[in-house]
Structure 1
């Protein structure tokens, strides 16, 4: 007897979702390898998990070579042309994030009395902005949980 079709919708339970992701990822990569062997095809698969982890498969050569070849066929930038601008943008963003992390860590030490560091007005404004974002996120999460509990109580009452 065959298995029934799985309904294509997001799996709500995070544990079940992770297990399904691992099994299906393994199956997809296996099928890609089989197709490559059977048909002598050059195949590349790139997968990012929900947690941002990268999984990749390049059946012949490296993924970089495959991406460069893909770029040639689709009219992308030549592989030998340096990608200076994206690198500079990434470096600027990294530097900005490092500064933001430093400010937030300094703010945490300041709030919990771990240091006598002086915070500038700009640093305090950035910290205030992040605290407001966190408070709004916490309120939203609290409301979601309360709504779920109300729904559960209504379902039990029915």
Structure 2
């Protein structure tokens, strides 16, 4: 049974369009490979799908650039000139942007002000005042945080009950201090708890007992 002729027009269904593209692309690349082998031809095929995905076929032992360079030589057309001009234009724009930014930085440092008129000077002054306001607000916030931290440290130093609590609940306060260059921790017992230690030199603790443990630095 003969296959029906397909009408050449855009396939509206996206899935069917993608399947047809893949099948015909592979068929085209297969024919290009056969042409390369049978006829010793140099073939380059560049394709972009509707989603801008690149597919290309290049004859073995050659590159796309070599094919394009050969095309330029044979047809006397400079393919790269337009691309080079676009690159040069992009470079010029970047250099101009860099120059303007450097000038703005110098102006904010009090340099390069002679070329500004009165309106530009007023605008620059307003911008710097707004910036100064933001910096000052940030400074006051940092100072407030430092003061709060200092108050907490002072509370720890003045109140022996303000400290760490052992996870086991054996002690109700921990106080750290310095003894002759080494660090020590004084631990105070709960009033209603008694503990036994292997060291018989320690007596049964009371509410006011303090045991000091020296920690090597």
For normalisation by structure 2, the TM-score amounts to: 0.38
Q: CA deviation at 1:41?
A: 0.8
User: What SS does the aligned partner of 1:51 have?
Assistant: coil
Check if 1:84 corresponds to 2:84. yes
Bigger share in helix: 1
Number of aligned residues: 93
1:49 aligns with 2:49: yes
Quote how far apart the aligned CAs of 1:75 are. Answer: 0.6
CA shift for structure 1 position 48:
1.0
Structure 1: distance between partners of 2:16 and 2:91: 37
Secondary structure in 2 matching 1:38: helix
Shift of 1:91: 6.2
Instruction: Work out the CA distance in 1 between the residues paired with 2:42 and 2:88.
Output: 32
Tell me the equivalent position of 2:133. Answer: none
Bigger share in strand = 2
- Structure 2 residue ranges without an equivalent (≥5): 95-217
For the aligned residue pairs, the C-alpha RMSD in angstroms reads 2.8
CA contact (8 A) 1:72 1:78 kept: no
Q: Larger relative contact order (C-alpha < 8 A, sep ≥ 6)?
A: 1
2:17 corresponding residue in structure 1:
17
In the TM superposition, what is the alpha-carbon distance from 1:6 to its structure 2 partner? Answer: 0.8
TM-score (norm: length of structure 1): 0.51
Task: Name the residue aligned to 2:58.
Answer: 58
User: Which region of structure 1 is more displaced relative to structure 2, 37-46 or 85-94?
Assistant: 85-94
Shift of 1:2: 2.7
> Shift of the alpha carbon at 1:86?
2.4
Cα 1:15–1:40 shift into 2, 3 Å: same
